[in-house]
Structure 1
Amino acid sequence: MEDLIIEKTQSTPFIHFSQSTNILTLHGESFPENSAKFYAPVLEWLKEFMASPETRKATLEFEIIYFNSSSSKVFMTMFDLLQEAVRNGKEILVNWKCDEKNETAIECGEEFKEDLDNLPFNIVLI
């Protein structure tokens, strides 16, 4: 399985999923015209990565400055996949990084966290 790297654009984040470090990074803004289409390869890579018997632990570093509602739905789908992986014995940690002055990002992180019952989810103020 190869790493997944998607370069940042004006409306999409930089994405790097590394199989060797088990660190999944999303950084930037997310408001693509079609979030489902943009994130489809990301979700497929994540499903395959989580299904791999070699994957025991993973950390998701999520630093999204701004995102639209359709991106929010995809992020929740990602968190649901990660939550399922935890139920299946994987050690997963989500770090939702946001500027301490960005109240909207903090509130969104808190809302995601509330919807997740067994996925370790940290809100990290930077």
Structure 2
Amino acid sequence: MENRLYIPATADTPEVDFDFDARRLRLRGESYPESAVAFYHDILQRTRAFLDGIQGDQVWVAMELRYFNSSSTKMLFNLVHDLHRAAQAGNHVHLDWFHDPEDDTILEFGQELAEDFSAIRFRIVPSAG
């Protein structure tokens, strides 16, 4: 398995920069693909394989999404659920959830994730302009 998953951003999909060797995973941009299941399928599979292969490691995640639609919400939930399972298994998962200070929807979704997945060390971060 390649140790990096990089997908450049498009008008309707986020940049995916998952450097598995460095234990750094980042999503950035907007997510409203025609098929969120198709877009996120390989991302979730590769991430699960990575997480299943680590123990007692630090993993740093940054989610910097300016917008995502309802079908992307389910995929993001699945991704965070997988990170939570890894944290429960003894890994130290740090997740920075960036949000526009004017966007209550993204802020509230991040807060809900932090509540639902308490094994992850969440940081809710207002993004700068």
- TM category (shorter chain) comes to over 0.9
Read off the aligned partner of 1:44 and give its amino acid letter. Answer: Q
Q: Which residue of 1 aligns with 2:69?
A: 68
Matched positions, count: 126
Structure 2 regions of 5+ residues with no counterpart? none
Q: Which residue of 2 aligns with 1:78?
A: 79
More displaced, 113-122 or 24-33?
A: 113-122
Read off the aligned partner of 1:63 and give its amino acid letter. Answer: E
Q: Which residue of 1 aligns with 2:42?
A: 41
CA pair 54-124 structure 1, distance change in 2 beyond 3 A: same
Cα distance in 1 for partners of 2:97, 2:75 equals 15
Q: Deviations over 1:49-105 (max 9, x none)?
A: 101137711111000000001100011101110111011111111110112222222
Give the ranges of 4+ consecutive aligned residues of structure 1 lying more than 6 Å apart after TM superposition. Answer: none
Q: CA RMSD in A?
A: 1.4
Q: How high is the TM-score relative to the length of structure 2?
A: 0.91
How far 1:20 moved relative to its partner? 2.6
Matched residue of 2:90: which SS? Answer: coil
For residues 44-59 of structure 1, what are the structure 2 equivalents within 5 Å?
Answer: 44-53=45-54, 56-59=57-60
More displaced, 108-117 or 60-69?
A: 108-117
Cα distance in 2 for partners of 1:103, 1:82 equals 24
Cα distance in 2 for partners of 1:66, 1:108 equals 11
Cα distance in 1 for partners of 2:108, 2:81 equals 19
CA pair 105-53 structure 1, distance change in 2 beyond 3 A: closer
Cα distance in 2 for partners of 1:25, 1:114 equals 21
Q: Is the 8 A contact 2:84 2:120 kept in 1?
A: yes
